[in-house]
Chain A
C-alpha cells in the first residue's frame, strides 16, 4: 500500500489535471426568486390542509352511508343522512345546544382548574427538590387511576352536582398535562437557562419568561391530550351518573336516546362530540400552534 502511494506521488504521476487560465467576472445582477404561482390549480388547492381533511371526512361519511344502506337496519346503524337529520332537528329544537352547553360548562371549569394546578405543581417541581419528588410521586400514583373509578368517591364527597364532575375532570386533566409540562421544562437547553439567569431572572418570572415559552411545544401537546381526556371522562361520567339536578349534558342525551332506541339521535350526540373535538383541535389548537411554535421554528 505505502509502496504504491509513494511511487505514485513521487516518480510516476499517472494523471495530472491540466492547468487552466484564471478568470474574474463582475457579479451577475440579482434575479428575483420564483414563487409557486405557476402551479396548476389542483396542486395549489391540495396545499390547503382543510381541503385535504374535508376530503377525508367526506369519504368517511360516504363509507358510513353505504355500509348503513347495505346493512339495512336503522335500529343498529342508521345511515349518515338520518343521523345528520336528527342532528339538525335537535339543534333546531334547542335540545342539543342546551345539552352541549351543560357539558361545555362543566368541561371548561374542570379543564381550567386542572391547567392551573398542573402549572403550579410543575413550577414547584422545576424550582425545588421536594416539589420534584412530590410531582413524580403523585403522577406515578394517580396518573394510571381511571377518573371514572373516582366517581363513586366524588359523588360521596360532593353529591349529585356539578362538583363531582368537575372533580373527576380535574383528575383527568391534571396528571397528563403536568407530566408533559415537566418533560418540556426539563428539555429546555442549558444555554437558554443560563441566559435567563444571566439577566437576573428568578422564580416565577424565570418560569414565565424563559421556561414556559421554551417548553411550549410540550405544553401544547399536554393541553391537547388533557382536552381529549377531559371530553372522554365527561361523556363517560354523564353516561354513568346521568343528569345532575335536571341539567344533563351530551352524555346524558346519548344515554337517554339509547334507552328509547332512537339510534339516529345517539349518533347525532356522538357527531356533536366529534364536531367539538375537530373544532377545538383544528381551529383553537391549530391557531395557537401557528402563532407560536410554528412561527418560531420550534415545531413544523
Chain B
C-alpha cells in the first residue's frame, strides 16, 4: 500500500533534485600494455529511495561504474555528484556490498563485523554502534549467529552480514555489486525477497549491479541498460510494477524479452560487422 503513494499523480515526476548524478562519465583503467575504456559518456540520475539497477552483459563496465560511484576509481571525464558534492574518494556515505565472500574480515564476529565500520569511520559512538548492530543483525535474521566467525557461516549468511553491515551505516546510497551472483538459485531468490522486504521497511537508496534480466526486473524500480565494449547507455526502463510474484506472467516475459532485444540485438549486429 505504501508503495502506491509514490506513483500517485500529484507526486509524479521528480519531487526534488536527484540524490546521485552520474554526468557524462568516461572511465578507463590501465592493464599492462594498454588502456582499456570501461565506460564512455555515461549519464544517469538516482533519486532518493530508488532501487536503481545497472544491467548489462559482462564487459559493459557496470561494476567499474559502481566502483567509481564508490570513489575507488576517478573518472577520466565527467563527474559523479552526491548530494550536490562531487565524489572525490571512498567514504562511509556510500557503502558497497561486494559479490565476494571475503569482504568480511575473518577476524571479527558477525556482531563486530557489523559494528566495526561504524566505529572505524568515527560516525557513531560505541553504545549506539552496538545497538544498531544488534538491530540490523536481527533484521537479516542472524541473531543466533551474532557471535560466530565468518568462516563458520554459509555464503548466503555472509552476504546477509554484509547487507546488515552496510545498512547499519545508514549510507546515503547503498551500492551492491552483483551481491547474490555467487549464491545458489534458491538462496538468491530468498535474498532478493529479503532485500525487498528490508527496502519496504527502511527505504534506503539502492544502486544495484547485475547481469540477470529477471533479477533486474524483480529487484529494481528503474533499470539502466548498458551496452558493452565500452559501456554506453542504451536505455532506461521502469520496472516498479514487477515483484517476485510476477515472475511467470506474460507481461513480465514481454518486458524481459524487450530488455533482451535492447541489450543484444545491436551488440550482435556490431559483432557481426566486426567479424567481416
Contact B107 A192 (CB under 8 A): no
Q: Tell whether A296 pairs with B106 under 8 Å between CB atoms, given A191-B98, A199-B117, A205-B120.
A: yes
Question: Closest chain A residue to B165 by CB distance?
Answer: A195
A194 an interface residue at 8 Å Cβ cutoff? yes
In the complex, A297→B108 CA distance in Å?
Answer: 11
Give the A-B contact count at a CB cut-off of 8 A: 66
**Interface SS majority for chain A:** helix
Sort chain A's interface into a size bin.
20 to 34
Contact A296 B102 (CB under 8 A): no
Contact B152 A200 (CB under 8 A): no
Query: Which listed segment binds A: B41-49, B53-61, B87-95, B130-138?
Result: B87-95
Question: Closest chain A residue to B118 by CB distance?
Answer: A199
Question: Closest chain A residue to B162 by CB distance?
Answer: A195
- CB < 8 Å neighbour of A199 from B67, B92, B107: B92
Q: Tell whether A197 pairs with B72 under 8 Å between CB atoms, given A191-B102, A292-B107.
A: yes
Contact A297 B151 (CB under 8 A): yes
A167-207 interface mask toward B, CB cutoff 8 Å, 1 = contact, 0 = none? Answer: 00000000000000000000001011011111111000100
A298 an interface residue at 8 Å Cβ cutoff? yes
Contact B92 A198 (CB under 8 A): yes
- CB < 8 Å neighbour of A191 from B90, B94, B100, B107: B100
B75 an interface residue at 8 Å Cβ cutoff? no
Q: List 27 A-B contacts (CB under 8 A).
A: A189-B102, A191-B98, A191-B100, A192-B102, A192-B105, A194-B90, A195-B105, A197-B89, A198-B92, A198-B117, A199-B116, A199-B117, A199-B120, A200-B92, A205-B120, A213-B105, A213-B107, A214-B106, A292-B107, A296-B106, A296-B107, A296-B151, A297-B149, A297-B151, A297-B152, A298-B107, A298-B151
B103 an interface residue at 8 Å Cβ cutoff? yes
User: A residues within 8 A CB of B149?
Assistant: 295-297
User: B residues within 8 A CB of A216?
Assistant: 107
B96 an interface residue at 8 Å Cβ cutoff? yes
A100 an interface residue at 8 Å Cβ cutoff? no
CB distance from A143 to the nearest CB of B (A): 28
Contact A189 B91 (CB under 8 A): no
CB distance from B113 to the nearest CB of A (A): 10
Scoring B67, B98, B103, B107 by chain A CB atoms within 10 A of each residue's CB, the highest score goes to B107
B70 an interface residue at 8 Å Cβ cutoff? yes
Contact B91 A200 (CB under 8 A): yes
CB distance from A198 to the nearest CB of B (A): 5
Question: Closest chain B residue to A195 by CB distance?
Answer: B103
**Which residues of chain B from 113 to 155 have a CB within 8 Å of any chain A CB?**
116-117, 120-122, 149-152
A279 an interface residue at 8 Å Cβ cutoff? no
User: B residues within 8 A CB of A230?
Assistant: none
Contact B98 A195 (CB under 8 A): yes
Query: How many residues in B have their beta carbons less than 8 Å from beta carbons of A?
Result: 26
User: B residues within 8 A CB of A234?
Assistant: none
A45 an interface residue at 8 Å Cβ cutoff? no
Question: Closest chain A residue to B70 by CB distance?
Answer: A198
In the complex, A198→B120 CA distance in Å?
Answer: 10
User: B residues within 8 A CB of A297?
Assistant: 106, 149-152
11 additional contacts (CB under 8 A) given A198-B117, A200-B121: A189-B100, A191-B103, A194-B72, A196-B120, A198-B70, A198-B91, A198-B92, A199-B116, A214-B106, A297-B150, A298-B107
Question: Closest chain A residue to B119 by CB distance?
Answer: A199
Contact B120 A200 (CB under 8 A): yes
In the complex, A201→B116 CA distance in Å?
Answer: 11
A67 an interface residue at 8 Å Cβ cutoff? no
Contact B120 A209 (CB under 8 A): yes
A220 an interface residue at 8 Å Cβ cutoff? no
Contact B105 A214 (CB under 8 A): yes
User: B residues within 8 A CB of A189?
Assistant: 100, 102
**Which residues of chain B from 247 to 268 have a CB within 8 Å of any chain A CB?**
none
User: B residues within 8 A CB of A195?
Assistant: 96, 98, 103, 105
Contact A298 B92 (CB under 8 A): no
Q: Tell whether A298 pairs with B106 under 8 Å between CB atoms, given A198-B70, A199-B92.
A: yes
User: B residues within 8 A CB of A209?
Assistant: 120
User: B residues within 8 A CB of A199?
Assistant: 92, 116-117, 120-121
Contact B72 A210 (CB under 8 A): no
Contact A197 B90 (CB under 8 A): yes
User: B residues within 8 A CB of A192?
Assistant: 102-103, 105
- CB < 8 Å neighbour of B90 from A200, A210, A213: A200
Q: Tell whether A201 pairs with B120 under 8 Å between CB atoms, given A297-B151, A297-B152.
A: yes
In the complex, A195→B97 CA distance in Å?
Answer: 9
User: B residues within 8 A CB of A292?
Assistant: 107
User: A residues within 8 A CB of B70?
Assistant: 194, 198
